[in-house]
């Protein structure tokens, strides 16, 4: 049995490197990514889907739910880190590193608060796997994936936690504990898709 940990598809905010609001949905390219993701996972036997309720993750999960026939359960604990008042700002206009360890966004989450929330999200994920060890898809955000990989998952020998999680990247985690990662940040389903116009690291 396995957990399929997934980052959402591309948004215009990703393409333009803008700190995103919760209601930003998928771009046309992101919708195509989500469709390819769904096709890749259609025959994996997924029986449960948890997703962030932010639009970009919910739309990505909806594609997976459509092909699997599995209802999507939205979990607010899986939301991206809240960057508060700087949401909507292009990275180039910030003048500082928003990912710096000591940076606390006004009216947003510090790293400590964010990681504590991700810890609670991980408890929900483990409970969703349950004693039956279902195949569980978890559709969330890049920083959530990074936080989980750094503090809760056992990476393959020699692997390091990726700084950047690709849009619709799949990380496959064997169930049960020690939560060993079998495949990390994989986007094989996007082979042949035209390259994006810009880097897509925006959260």
Question: Averaged in consecutive runs of 10 residues, what is the pLDDT profile of the chain (203 residues)?
Answer: 97 94 96 98 96 98 97 98 97 95 97 98 95 88 98 96 96 96 97 70 67
Considering only CA atoms, which of 119, 97, 76, 101 is closest in space to residue 19?
A: 97
Beta bridge partners of 99: none
Question: If 0-12 CB within 10 Å is exposed, 13-18 middle and 19+ buried, where does residue 195 land?
Answer: exposed
Distance CA 128, CA 122 (A): 10
135: three-class secondary structure by DSSP: coil
Q: CA-to-CA distance for 162 and 144, rounded, in angstroms?
A: 12
Q: Are 133 and 1 in contact (CB under 8 A)?
A: yes
Q: Within 13 Å and on the Cβ side, how many CA atoms surround 198?
A: 11
Structural domains in the chain, sorted by start? 2-190 (3.40.50.1240)
pLDDT of res. 11: 96
3-state secondary structure at position 91:
helix
pLDDT at res. 196: 67
* pLDDT score for 203: 75
pLDDT score, position 93: 97
> Distances from the Cα of 192 to the Cαs of 42, 43, 156, in angstroms?
19, 21, 27
Tell me if the bond preceding 178 is cis, omega within 30° of 0.
Answer: yes
């Amino acid at each position: 049995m396995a957990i399929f940990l997934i980052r959402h598809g591309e948004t215009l905010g990703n393409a333009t490197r803008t700190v995103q609001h919760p209601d930003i949905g998928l771009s046309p390219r992101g919708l195509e990514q989500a469709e390819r993701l769904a096709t890749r996972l259609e025959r994996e036997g997924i029986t449960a889907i948890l997703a962030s309720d932010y639009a970009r993750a919910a739309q990505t999960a909806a594609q997976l739910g459509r092909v699997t026939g599995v209802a999507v359960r939205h979990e607010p604990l899986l939301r991206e880190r809240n960057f508060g008042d700087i949401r909507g700002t292009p990275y180039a206009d910030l003048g500082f590193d928003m990912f710096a360890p000591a940076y606390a966004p006004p009216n947003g989450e510090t790293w400590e608060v964010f990681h504590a929330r991700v810890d609670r999200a991980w408890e929900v994920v483990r409970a969703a796997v349950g004693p039956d060890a279902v195949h569980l898809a978890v559709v969330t955000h890049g920083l959530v994936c990074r936080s989980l990989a750094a503090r809760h998952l056992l990476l393959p020998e020699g692997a390091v936690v990726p700084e950047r999680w690709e849009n619709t990247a799949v990380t496959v985690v064997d169930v049960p504990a020690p939560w060993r990662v079998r495949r990390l940040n994989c986007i094989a389903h996007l082979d042949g898709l035209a390259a994006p116009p810009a880097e897509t690291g925006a959260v």
